Amino acid sequence: MKDFIGINTRSSDNLRYIEQFGFIREYHEWSDDTGFDSDNTPNCPQNPLRFNPSNSQAAMIDLDRFYERLSGRVSPCLKWLAPEMRGLETYNPVVQEQKPICGQLSTIDQELPESYLDYTRWASIYAARYGSNDVCAYPGSAYGTLINNWVIDKDQNGAGISGLGRLKYLELGNEPDKWWYDSEFRNKPYALWQMMPEQYATLLHAAYDGAGKSAGFSITGAQSSFLGVKNADPEIKVVMGGLSNFRGRYIVQMLDRAYALRNANPEAKAKLPFDVFNIHHYLSNTGKVGAAYIDDNALWNTYDYLGLNSTGISPEQGQLRQLYIRFFERLFSEIGNDSIRDELSAKEFWLTEFGYDTNNNSPIRAKLSQGSQSFFTTQAQWLARTYLELSAVEYAYKDQKIVLSRAAAFDLRDMGDAGEGDLYNPNGWLYTHCGLLSFDFRPKRSWYFVQTLIDVLGETRFEKDINTDGLFQFDDGGQSPRIYYYKGESDRRVLAIWSPTAAKISGKHLKIPVDALLSRIGEQDLNTLDSFTVIDIQPFSTHGHRKGYYVADGNIFLDDASSAVSETPLFVVLG
């Protein structure tokens, strides 16, 4: 779970907090490396790249040190536009989300791989520098020359740094399906921001391996060396830019186009040009939840539905686990090509954005459906439970079990100022207060909840849901508790238990007969249980409160004498 539980962040954020996570998705602007335009005239990128220090206007970041401190845990999300492409002399967060193409979009064939040559070069140099393949170790090599011509280190050209071995993943873009900035050209090929599925398939084809080592991607002066992440470092895994929602038709069309581009090319070894399938989803009271959300053809087929209404809902209200399983079922059934299905099933699957706002104006605000409590508490509960629900997603395809291997909450810190003491902050809007930290890096309740989750379950992985049929019930009835079983090395066995409600439920008593529990777990080397430890999540603690108990009369009792169950997950360590 320590590699599963991730966070979104930026290199300018506080490393002391970032490094507490085993998986980090870093929003990385092209301007961080290439800087900005000098004459307000649009052109293709010409500025040299800087990594040590970077060209970021947010802070002078030493990216070499940043990735060294977090070695192997970061997946940089290489975001779209180089400022020179639009003549930007300073940071513009909206314009820099446009497609990474030079020139007038209406005159450019956006389904031509060479249209993404500049982006491919940037991703290739990134992979060469921070991957494990030291291309500069060979004097006169094409990649060594490329890096010496394009990269400045500590104000010196030709430093020739490569193969630092600090990255295992590179994500190509963020939400390439973004439609909300476009109006006139929305859902049309010449939209400024929104990429059609065929266009994004083409970008992946180009940046993955230079469109299968196509001539247009050969490095200047070399006929046998090509741009492309996999050509720079075959070991780096290419992550598909996280789509903004479960866009079924978009995904099927993207996969079909990618396969068509690569199937006839023997140099294109992978017919789907990515190693990680990636998606985003925020839970809001839209009226459709779980399988019904996926089965709604209007939602499945649309390119431009945001999926938000007026308030956030808990992962159980949104039936997030069931939604994801049904998504896999429908996606694999609607892919018509067996080869595409088989290759897709072997990929990693990530969900790299989800979360809740702690302000009163957001359509994903952390507000209970019944009762009243601080948004900070509700956000903390729902984030912890979302990680748990996502860890339990499993789908069987042929003889494979497809699971989610990474989940990253949005965001490490708030985008706007708000005091922890203001329980119902009226300021802000969508995504502005999703952080686990305040804008000035003060931990919110969600920080302690998520860190306790990592501390308790970090060395385990999800094994099974042992209460699918409601065998174990609260003493006073009500909705059945969630009881998920996690197991790790050295026979570490942990139950995560909580009330899956959103009504400020607390003080629930639960009796778990040990014989029934062990039968549900079903492990031959676990046939007796004499003791257990209860771990409660506590404010201002990243480890929780722990106390040991003995099994009494053949039962585990969770009540006022030990720890009663609430909407905050508690953990029972067996043995």
The per-residue pLDDT for range 426-454, each reduced to its tens digit, is 567 899 999 999 999 999 999 999 999 99
Whether residue 427 is contained in a domain is answered as yes
**According to the model, what pLDDT value does residue 541 have?**
98
- Same domain? 468 vs 557: yes
Triad 89, 417, 58: Cα angle to 5°: 30
Which helix (H) or strand (E) covers residue 497, if one does?
strand 493-498
- Same domain? 504 vs 426: no
- Same domain? 422 vs 502: no
Q: How far is CA 84 from CA 16, 60, 199, 480, in A?
A: 33, 20, 22, 57
Q: Which residue bears the tokens 């439609």?
A: 179
Q: Among residues 425, 456, 487, which one ends one of the domains?
A: 456
- Same domain? 475 vs 349: no
Domain around 493:
461-574
Task: Report the domain count for the chain.
Answer: 2
What's the pLDDT tens digit per position in 69-95? 999 999 999 999 999 999 999 999 999
CATH number, residue 466:
2.60.40
- Same domain? 324 vs 376: yes
- Same domain? 414 vs 529: no
Query: Residue 528: which of 559, 550, 497, 495 has the closest Cα?
Result: 550
Residue 210 CB burial class (10 angstroms; 0-12, 13-18, ≥19): buried
CATH number, residue 444:
3.20.20.80
**According to the model, what pLDDT value does residue 420 have?**
44
pLDDT band for 164, please (50, 70, 90 cuts): very high
| Cα 546 from Cα 562, distance rounded (Å) | 10
DSSP category for residue 562 = S
Whether residue 374 is contained in a domain is answered as yes
Q: Tell me the mean pLDDT in the region 531-540.
A: 97
- Same domain? 447 vs 503: no
Tell me, letter by letter, the H, E, C secondary structure of 447-484. Answer: HHHHHHHHHHHCCEEEEEECCCCCCCCECCCCCCCEEE
Mean pLDDT of the chain: 95
What's the pLDDT tens digit per position in 359-378? 988 999 999 988 889 999 99
- Same domain? 435 vs 328: yes
What's the pLDDT tens digit per position in 467-497? 999 999 999 999 999 999 999 999 999 999 9
What's the pLDDT tens digit per position in 205-249? 999 999 999 999 999 766 789 999 999 999 999 999 999 999 999
Query: Residue 51: which of 150, 169, 186, 142 has the closest Cα?
Result: 150
Q: Tell me the mean pLDDT in the region 343-370.
A: 96
Q: Tell me the mean pLDDT in the region 542-556.
A: 98
- Same domain? 407 vs 477: no
Q: What is the dihedral of CA 155, 157, 162, 165, to 10 degrees?
A: 0
**According to the model, what pLDDT value does residue 531 have?**
98
Residue pair 113/216 in contact (Cβ under 8 Å)? The answer is yes
- Same domain? 350 vs 475: no
Q: Among residues 436, 456, 476, which one ends one of the domains?
A: 456
Whether residue 565 is contained in a domain is answered as yes
- Cis ω on the peptide bond leading into residue 426 (within 30° of 0)? no
Dihedral sign from CA coordinates of 512, 515, 520, 522: positive
Residue pair 446/376 in contact (Cβ under 8 Å)? The answer is yes
Residue 291 CB burial class (10 angstroms; 0-12, 13-18, ≥19): middle
**According to the model, what pLDDT value does residue 426 have?**
56
What's the pLDDT tens digit per position in 89-143? 999 999 999 999 998 888 999 999 999 999 999 999 999 999 999 999 987 889 9
| Cα 471 from Cα 491, distance rounded (Å) | 25
How many DSSP H helices and E strands does the chain contain?
15, 21
Q: Which residues touch 333 (CB under 8 Å, ≥6 apart)?
A: none
Q: Among residues 456, 483, 512, which one ends one of the domains?
A: 456
Share of the chain above pLDDT 70, in %: 97
Q: Tell me the mean pLDDT in the region 405-417.
A: 95
**According to the model, what pLDDT value does residue 467 have?**
99
What's the pLDDT tens digit per position in 259-311? 999 998 999 999 999 999 999 999 999 999 999 999 999 999 999 988 899 99
**Of the listed ranges 313-317, 427-431, 455-459, 567-571, the one predicted with least confidence:** 427-431
- Same domain? 336 vs 444: yes
Whether residue 50 is contained in a domain is answered as no
| pTM, 2 dp | 0.96
Whether residue 492 is contained in a domain is answered as yes
Query: With 50 as the cut, is the pLDDT of residue 422 above it?
Result: no
Helix runs in 359-498, H state only: 375-391, 445-457
- For the chain, the residue count is 575
Residue 250 CB burial class (10 angstroms; 0-12, 13-18, ≥19): buried
Query: Residue 327: which of 296, 284, 285, 348 has the closest Cα?
Result: 296
Q: Which residue bears the tokens 């009663």?
A: 564
Whether residue 32 is contained in a domain is answered as no
| Cα 374 from Cα 387, distance rounded (Å) | 20
**According to the model, what pLDDT value does residue 327 have?**
99
